[in-house]
Structure 1
Amino acid sequence: MKKPVAALMVLGLLAGAGWTASRWASDWRWQEATDDAYVDGDVTAILPKVSGYVVELRGQDNRPVAKGEVLLRIDDRDYRAKVEEARAQVAARMAQLIQIEDREAVQRSVIAQSGATITAARADVVRARADFERTQRLVREDFVSRQRFDLMAADAAKAQASLTGSGAGLQAAQRQLAVLASEKVMVQAQMEQAKAALTLADTDLEATVVRAPVDGVVGNRAVRDGQYVRPGQMLMAVVPLGRVWIDANFKETQLGRIRAGQKVLIKVDAFPGQSITGRVDSFAPATGSKFSLLPPENATGNFTKIVQRVPVRILPDDDNALKGLLRPGLSVVVTVDTRDPPP
């Protein structure tokens, strides 16, 4: 009896060893695995841009939301008043611009009129000077009286004075037009400033409605209805469960054969008995310890060599059976098939 039992045991051991050797030769020797791996994703923090009291709260924990959906509303009465004030400033600056443009039009008319007056004054000067010179010749020959000569001289001087005055008036009108142009530039700058203030006021008013930036599920809600919130305060988070990945921390001794594109078998602790597939996407630019708050310093003191780990990003296949069920933070076990990836 002992010999058959012993023979069966030997046969069993040989069969087990053969099966193990066969699996090692066909699969296991090509695989690199780690259980230091976790599901991760973009956890989008919801922070308000403006301060105020929450008057409506729609975003609730564990509820799905669509991109653009309203999560909460902040009391907007003060911000509406600021918008109206900014609009009034824009309207006031616009009225100033219109007034200046009207004054410019009037001043251009004055300049044109002054030009016409100067033309007429020049003609008067030419006429008065000709009369004076003619009277001057005649008075020498006693053809006209001295009184007539003095009258012609006065007319010539008067015409010249009128021309000089008209020229001064034209210069004054031109200077006034230049002053109006400077005022217009200043008011235009104030107009742009008022428009910028209106844009900021509109932006702040729009920011009183907090919307979901992405499709996802609300979590970690820290705000309550009627609460006073401030800019930058954490209100809640939105997690897009449809876009998750896995960060697997492989030992540095395992990285030699792992390449981007290689197939990965993924087992999630939360779903025992189920497995999904994925692909190696990328490698971290440094080991995990280098990104820690206090990186190790081995240049001084006693040195103990520790195997380092490098985060490797793995993307689950889009058609996996657990799509939408994976949550950031879940523990997983990944096994990489290190044979060459498909072309």
Structure 2
Amino acid sequence: MSANAPTADSLGNPPPRGDAPATSPEARAQPRSRRRALLLGLLAVLVLGALAWGVRWWLVGRFIESTDDAYLQADSVTVAPKVGGYVAEVLVRDNQVVEAGQPLARLDARQYQAAADEARATVAAREADVARAEADLVQQKANIAQAAAEVTGAQANVRYAASQVDRYAPLVKTGAETEERTAELRNTQTRAATTLAANEAALRAAQVRTGTLQAQIEQARAQLSVAQAAARRAELDLQDTVVRSTLAGRVADRAVRVGQFAQPGTRLLTVVPVQDLYLTANFKETQVGHMRPGQPVTIHVDALPDGALHGSVESLAPGTGAQFALLPPQNATGNFTKIVQRVPVRIHMDIPDSARPALVPGLSVTVDVDTRKHAAQSARAPVAGAAHG
């Protein structure tokens, strides 16, 4: 190496090449100081961020129970006819908004109209039977009055005939009257007594017939009640040919078509009450220990990524989902493997009007339940018990 060759300085920096000016140690230390300050600042930000996250977790996060096993639901109603017949008219479209009581479909009503007309005619005939029986009873009461009057007249004739016999008997003994006259009077007395007996028998018969006519009236009224019930049933069948919605909502899954023969109970369509949506979240059994009705809930709907909804816990199911399955597990047989169970929690939602058009049953939701209130009460309960002790 020649004596004029450049050499490295004491800090190990390569010597300048050519005629480049030499760099001072202070200039070379400035970049390292800036990097060190930047790293220290970044470290401080990370430490502060971790500290803030830890404080928030301690104060809030550890009380928040979250799950994405949650879906919007509504108590939908399947619409089916009560009577059978061919569909004559479909009155709604797919996804149409309907009100409670609004007609949805109309069946062919001709046979039900004929049955209703026949039932009304039968009712009219039974009403006539009742009126005739009541008229017979009124006439029979008049016959009873007539028979009673005849009995009264016959009694008077009997008394008169007896008085005549008593009057002429002394005259016969003295010879003033003949025996023939006495026999004639006794014969008249006997005929009067016979007539009285006949009239009394007729009166009793008329009185007995009154009970018979009264029974006929009751029978006619019972038949009238049967006819009226049949008429009401026929009217209901006629009214049921118009299939109406039992609640307000939107039409979904419309399967009814004109000309289709619908049996009673055949599904025609479904009405979804989208205005009464609620949320069912399936939390793990390890998450519901401090969950109580009334606790606030934050709801993130996948269909609404721009904002969150709010609500409250309405109720917890009385059992896990497995308990109400079609085939519930039988853990007492065979090998057992513990599986974390889930408890359905019903949540009431406060839905703004702007978000309602996008919300329908079945949408996926993420739910955060704030259990701080009950957790704080549970933490203070042992202390209060110890103080009392």
Q: Same fold (TM over 0.5)?
A: yes
Task: Tell whether 2:80 aligns with 1:39.
Answer: no
Question: Using the alignment, how far apart are the partners of 1:289 and 1:101 within structure 2?
Answer: 68
- CA deviation after TM superposition for structure 1 residue 94, in Å: 0.8
Match of 2:296 in 1: 263
Equivalent position to 1:67, from 94, 97, 100: 100
Task: Tell whether 2:199 aligns with 1:166.
Answer: yes
Match of 2:239 in 1: 206
Match of 1:297 in 2: 330
The Cα offsets for residues 206-247 of structure 1, whole Å up to 9 and x where unpaired, read as 111111211111001111111110111111000111101000
Q: Matches of residues 1-343 of structure 1 in structure 2 within 5 Å?
A: 1=32, 7=40, 10-319=43-352, 321-340=354-373
Contact kept in structure 1, 2:103 and 2:244, CA below 8 Å: yes
After superposition, the CA RMSD in angstroms is: 1.7
Contact kept in structure 2, 1:264 and 1:336, CA below 8 Å: yes
Question: Using the alignment, how far apart are the partners of 2:170 and 2:70 within structure 1?
Answer: 120
Structure 2 segments unaligned to the other structure (5+ residues): 1-31, 375-389
- CA deviation after TM superposition for structure 1 residue 139, in Å: 2.2
- CA deviation after TM superposition for structure 1 residue 321, in Å: 4.4
Question: Using the alignment, how far apart are the partners of 1:325 and 1:209 within structure 2?
Answer: 32
Contact kept in structure 2, 1:276 and 1:321, CA below 8 Å: no
The Cα offsets for residues 64-109 of structure 1, whole Å up to 9 and x where unpaired, read as 1122221110011111111110110110011111111111111111
Q: TM-score, normalised by structure 1?
A: 0.95
- CA deviation after TM superposition for structure 1 residue 340, in Å: 2.2
Q: TM-score, normalised by structure 2?
A: 0.84
Question: Using the alignment, how far apart are the partners of 1:318 and 1:124 within structure 2?
Answer: 100
Question: Using the alignment, how far apart are the partners of 1:11 and 1:281 within structure 2?
Answer: 44
Q: How many residues align?
A: 341
Question: Using the alignment, how far apart are the partners of 2:351 and 2:67 within structure 1?
Answer: 22
- CA deviation after TM superposition for structure 1 residue 141, in Å: 2.8
The Cα offsets for residues 172-218 of structure 1, whole Å up to 9 and x where unpaired, read as 11122211111100000000111111111111111111112111110
Question: Using the alignment, how far apart are the partners of 1:10 and 1:186 within structure 2?
Answer: 102
| Letter in structure 2 aligned against 1:335 | D
The structure with more radius of gyration: 2
Question: Using the alignment, how far apart are the partners of 1:207 and 1:279 within structure 2?
Answer: 41
| Letter in structure 1 aligned against 2:88 | V
The Cα offsets for residues 30-61 of structure 1, whole Å up to 9 and x where unpaired, read as 21111111111110110101111111101221
